[in-house]
Amino acid sequence: MGLLAGTGALRAFGTPMHMAMPAAKGSGLCKHAVADQISVPRLLDPSRLTPFVDALPRPDVLHPKAGTALRIAMRESEQRLHRDLAPTRLWTYGNSMPGPTIEARSGVAVRVEWSNSLPLKHFLPIDHHVCGAEPDKPEVRGVVHVHGARVPAADDGYPTDWMVPGQSRGQTYPNRQDAATLWYHDHTMGIERLNLYAGLFGMYLLRDDHELSLGLPSGDFEWPLVLTDRLLTEDGQLYYPTSGISDAPWVPEVFGNAMLVNGALMPRLDVQARRYRFRVLNAANGRFFRLSLRGQRPFVQIGSDQGLLAAPVQQTSLFLAPGERADLVVDFASMDGSAIELMNDALPLMQFKVTAGKVIDSSRVPSTLRDVPRMAETSATQTRVLTIDEYADCVATPMLMLLDGKHWHEPVSEKPRLGSTEIWSLVNLTEDTHPIHLHLVRFQILDRRPFDVDEYLESKTIRYTGPAQPPPAHEAGWKDTAQVYPGMVTRYIITFEGYAGRYVWHCHLLEHASNEMMRPFEVVG
């Protein structure tokens, strides 16, 4: 066992840009905020593992049949994350991390019978001061949410709709929406960060006729790339850091020493010299990935969270926040016989090994992909100004981040009318980027605009300090999670289509979300 003071030392494993340690205003006065010396197990040094020796895993694909429900159990399992590591204890959907990929068709409903077959004790540190994880709650609970799906409230996986081991719940996904890269994950009140960290997430690919008519790379030439990071101990087990306060272990952020792609450490994918489509998901608790191909080789982005962009966008790098997705096409045609790495900043995540020899590639990337009309600001009938801020909270935790200064249990304050369009103006008073996600809806980013934070804190008025910046092309399509930058007002324009009922919106940094950076909203009929 080595000794580290608080969580600060763990940040040495890499702090992404925009992710400086949040400054808890006033927390210096709070005696609980000072962590004791905590002991940390010996951690793995991933640079000592041989890279690119394991084949990139492809999660099983489930094709739902009309009239029958898929059955997916949450269970404890083991998985080797690298050839030279012992199997890692995980909690997974089915028996792999990521869980099986659900392939659905737009307009065809899917029913899944989710069951909780987990053990009765959690293996990661629960903080019983965190809202929803009080000592009277069972330790092990689970509820599944399909992120980005437009579903009735009862099937959305509301955080308090959890079930305990032995229970199951059927949820129906109508799929009345465009093709998109969706994903499913645990959403249990107070412990979602631990459940996802344990391995409870998977892909949900929704396809439609339009997308299938485009001729994009498919079948063997289309791969999910699910990115996560984990702190691994020397013997290959998950380590989830704690605050050092024994009865309040919650930490504001977690960054791993090991980067995983589809649950593998530095895997390799053997590809042909042709186009491939990659469905990239950032499923990490707190890490932002800055993706590029080695040598800044260009690639094409064809879609974002909620489906295809209007037109392909040439990129050399991409900054993806937790919860966000990117649909990419990479052309390996001129690279036969060589290899190229997918990088996160200066670190390789995986390698593409291009087999020698030319192949015939009949796939295409059309120059227009889908009609994505920009939503007019004038179509909104309501604007809500909502702050994102940090608070010192000595009773429960060293620090708390809230949406609009409100706790989870306060009365619902956001009640959009079904079918109406609203602008949500997110005023970020913190020093971090928060990826803010709304359930049920898709939205567009109107703009981001810098303002004077200190003046706002003093007088509650917004004084802009620069012009509004419209989103770049790759963020100008349909989104369900977006990066809300520090010191800026980020405006979402949202039509509340689909269903009336109670949903949630939250930060997708899971440590924030599980400590009250989540609020209900209610669509009223």
Nearer to Cu ion, 46 or 416 (CB): 416
Q: Classify residue 312 by its DSSP letter.
A: E
Closest residue to Cu ion, judged by C-beta, is 507
Contact partner at residue 506 from Cu ion, ligand C2O, none, CB < 5 to 8 Å by partner kind: ligand C2O
Please report how close the Cβ of residue 470 comes to Cu ion at its closest, in angstroms: 24
Nearer to ligand C2O, 143 or 232 (CB): 143
For residue 84, what are its two tokens?
A: 């030279």
Q: Are 239 and 43 spatial neighbours (Cβ–Cβ below 8 Å)? A: yes
Strands (E), 29-166: 37-40, 61-62, 70-79, 88-93, 99-105, 110-116, 144-147
Please report how close the Cβ of residue 481 comes to ligand C2O at its closest, in angstroms: 7
Dist CA 133 CA 129 (whole Å): 7
Please report how close the Cβ of residue 40 comes to ligand C2O at its closest, in angstroms: 29
Dist CA 386 CA 492 (whole Å): 11
Contact partner at residue 509 from Cu ion, ligand C2O, none, CB < 5 to 8 Å by partner kind: Cu ion
Please report how close the Cβ of residue 507 comes to Cu ion at its closest, in angstroms: 3
Contact partner at residue 185 from ligand C2O, Cu ion, none, CB < 5 to 8 Å by partner kind: ligand C2O
Closest residue to ligand C2O, judged by C-beta, is 147
Nearer to Cu ion, 57 or 498 (CB): 498
Nearer to Cu ion, 43 or 507 (CB): 507
Question: If you search the block for the tokens 């979602």, which residue do you land on?
Answer: 192
Dist CA 26 CA 51 (whole Å): 45
Q: Are 441 and 423 spatial neighbours (Cβ–Cβ below 8 Å)? A: no
Please tell me the number of Cα atoms within 13 Å of 7 on its side-chain side: 22
The angle at the Cα of 327, spanning 151 to 476, to the nearest 5 degrees, equals 80
Nearer to Cu ion, 141 or 147 (CB): 147
Please report how close the Cβ of residue 396 comes to Cu ion at its closest, in angstroms: 17
Nearer to ligand C2O, 122 or 508 (CB): 508
Please report how close the Cβ of residue 203 comes to ligand C2O at its closest, in angstroms: 12
Contact partner at residue 507 from Cu ion, ligand C2O, none, CB < 5 to 8 Å by partner kind: Cu ion
Contact partner at residue 118 from Cu ion, ligand C2O, none, CB < 5 to 8 Å by partner kind: none
Dist CA 352 CA 341 (whole Å): 6
Site residues, Cu ion (CB under 5 A): 147, 434, 439, 507, 509, 512
Dist CA 165 CA 142 (whole Å): 8
Please report how close the Cβ of residue 442 comes to ligand C2O at its closest, in angstroms: 14
Dist CA 87 CA 34 (whole Å): 35
Q: What is the 3-state secondary structure (H, E, C) of 11-34?
A: HHHCCCCCCCCCCCCCHHHCHHHC
Please report how close the Cβ of residue 503 comes to ligand C2O at its closest, in angstroms: 9
Nearer to Cu ion, 44 or 436 (CB): 436
Contact partner at residue 187 from ligand C2O, Cu ion, none, CB < 5 to 8 Å by partner kind: ligand C2O
In what order do the strands lie in the sheet containing 339-344? 268-273, 347-358, 339-344, 289-293, 317-320
Nearer to ligand C2O, 162 or 456 (CB): 162
The angle at the Cα of 101, spanning 496 to 521, to the nearest 5 degrees, equals 20
Query: Who's near 482: CB < 8 A, 6+ residues apart?
Result: 321, 324, 435, 436, 443, 445, 475, 490, 492
For residue 187, what are its two tokens?
A: 């959403």
Nearer to Cu ion, 123 or 391 (CB): 391
Q: Are 126 and 181 spatial neighbours (Cβ–Cβ below 8 Å)? A: no
Please report how close the Cβ of residue 46 comes to ligand C2O at its closest, in angstroms: 27
Contact partner at residue 323 from ligand C2O, Cu ion, none, CB < 5 to 8 Å by partner kind: ligand C2O
28 sits in the region (left: phi over 0; alpha: psi -120 to 50; else beta) called alpha
Distance of CA 355 to the CA centre of its chain: 32
Site residues, ligand C2O (CB under 6 A): 145, 147, 185, 187, 323, 437, 439, 504, 506, 508
Distance of CA 86 to the CA centre of its chain: 27
Please report how close the Cβ of residue 360 comes to Cu ion at its closest, in angstroms: 40
Nearer to Cu ion, 54 or 253 (CB): 253
